[in-house]
C-alpha cells in the first residue's frame, strides 16, 4: 500500500527526515494511541527502536535553497509505503485528520492525499530507482561505500532482519545487488535532537546512495522489499524505492 500526500508551505527544512517522523507519529497518535504506543514505546517508557514496517520519501517541487531551508514556490509531496495494512490504514486515517501540521517553525497545509497503485513484480530480476537514498552500514555502525566488498553482505543482513520483523521469516534466498553507473553517493544531514545535545554538533551526517540499481532474488522477497524499502533508517526517510 502506498500513499502520496501533497502539502502547501512557504518553507521546508533541508534536513526534513525528523519532520516526516513527527508527521507519522502525530497521525498515528490521533487515530489509535494504543497502536502508537505499541509501535514507538516500551512499557518502561523508553523508545521502541525496533525496525518498523514502512518507509517514506519527500519530493520538493519548485524551490530555492537558502542555507538549510527550501523556499517553496510550488509544493511538497511526502510518500509512504508499507505492506502492513494495519499500519497504513491508521496512518491514512490520521493524515486525513491533520489539516495543518506544524513542526518547529515549519507549517504544512494539506492539499490532498492519494492512494498510489503499486507496480507489479513478477520477475527474479528487477530494476529499481531510489525515491529516498539507501543507507548501508556494518556491525560497527560504519557507513559502507558502495564499492566496499561487504556492501552487499550488509545489505542482505538488514533486508533479512526487515523481512523477519514484518513476516516472521527472512530472505528465501540471498539477494544479488548490482548498482548502475547513475548511482551516486549522497550525504544526508539529519537534525536529531539527542545527537545535538550529546555532541553540540548541529547535524548528524549519513552517507547514503541514490540512483538506479538491480536486485535479483526470490520474487516474493522482491515484492515485500519494494513495499518495505531497503537498508537502514527506512522509517527515518531512507530506502524507499520504485520499480522502473
Domain layout of the chain by residue ranges: 2-116, 125-243
In tens, the pLDDT along 48-65 reads 778 899 999 999 999 999
Sequence-ordered list of residues with C-beta below 8 angstroms from that of 202, at least 6 positions apart, any chain: 191, 196
Taking each helix axis as running N to C, give the angle between helix 33-40 and helix 85-97, from 0 to 180 degrees, rounded to the nearest 10: 120
Q: Which CATH number fits domain 125-243: 3.30.70.1900, 3.10.129.10, 3.30.930.10, 3.40.50.150?
A: 3.30.70.1900
The CA distance from 17 to 68, in Å, is: 13
The CA distance from 183 to 205, in Å, is: 19
State the architecture of 2-116 in CATH terms.
2-Layer Sandwich (3.30)
- Mean pLDDT score, 8-17: 96
In tens, the pLDDT along 106-141 reads 999 999 999 999 999 999 999 999 999 999 999 999
In tens, the pLDDT along 146-198 reads 999 999 999 999 999 999 999 999 999 999 999 999 899 999 988 888 887 88
Residue 44: predicted pLDDT? 59
Quote the pTM value: 0.93
Sequence-ordered list of residues with C-beta below 8 angstroms from that of 96, at least 6 positions apart, any chain: 113
Amino acid at each position: 500500500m502506498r500513499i502520496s500526500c501533497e502539502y502547501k508551505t512557504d518553507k521546508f527544512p533541508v534536513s526534513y527526515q525528523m519532520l516526516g517522523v513527527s508527521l507519522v507519529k502525530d497521525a498515528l497518535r490521533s487515530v489509535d494511541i494504543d497502536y502508537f504506543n505499541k509501535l514507538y514505546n516500551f512499557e518502561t517508557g523508553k523508545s521502541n527502536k525496533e525496525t518498523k514496517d514502512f518507509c517514506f520519501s519527500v519530493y520538493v517541487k519548485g524551490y530555492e535553497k537558502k542555507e538549510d531551508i527550501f523556499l517553496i514556490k510550488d509544493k511538497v509531496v511526502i510518500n509512504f509505503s508499507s505492506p502492513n495494512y494495519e499500519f497504513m490504514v491508521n496512518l491514512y486515517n490520521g493524515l486525513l485528520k491533520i489539516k495543518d501540521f506544524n513542526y518547529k517553525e515549519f507549517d504544512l497545509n494539506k492539499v490532498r492525499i492519494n492512494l498510489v497503485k503499486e507496480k507489479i513484480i513478477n520477475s527474479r530480476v528487477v530494476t529499481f530507482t531510489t525515491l529516498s537514498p539507501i543507507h548501508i552500514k556494518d556491525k560497527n555502525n560504519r557507513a559502507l561505500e558502495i564499492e566496499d566488498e561487504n556492501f552487499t553482505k550488509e545489505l542482505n543482513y538488514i533486508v533479512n532482519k526487515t523481512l523477519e520483523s514484518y513476516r516472521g521469516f527472512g530472505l528465501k534466498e540471498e539477494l544479488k545487488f548490482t548498482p548502475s553507473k547513475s548511482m551516486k553517493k549522497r550525504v544526508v544531514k539529519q537534525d536529531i535532537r539527542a545527537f545535538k545535545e550529546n555532541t553540540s554538533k548541529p547535524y548528524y551526517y549519513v552517507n547514503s546512495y541514490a540512483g538506479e540499481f538491480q536486485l535479483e532474488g526470490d520474487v516474493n522477497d522482491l515484492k515485500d522489499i519494494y513495499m518495505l524499502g531497503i537498508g537502514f533508517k527506512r522509517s527515518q526517510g531512507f530506502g524507499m524505492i520504485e520499480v522502473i
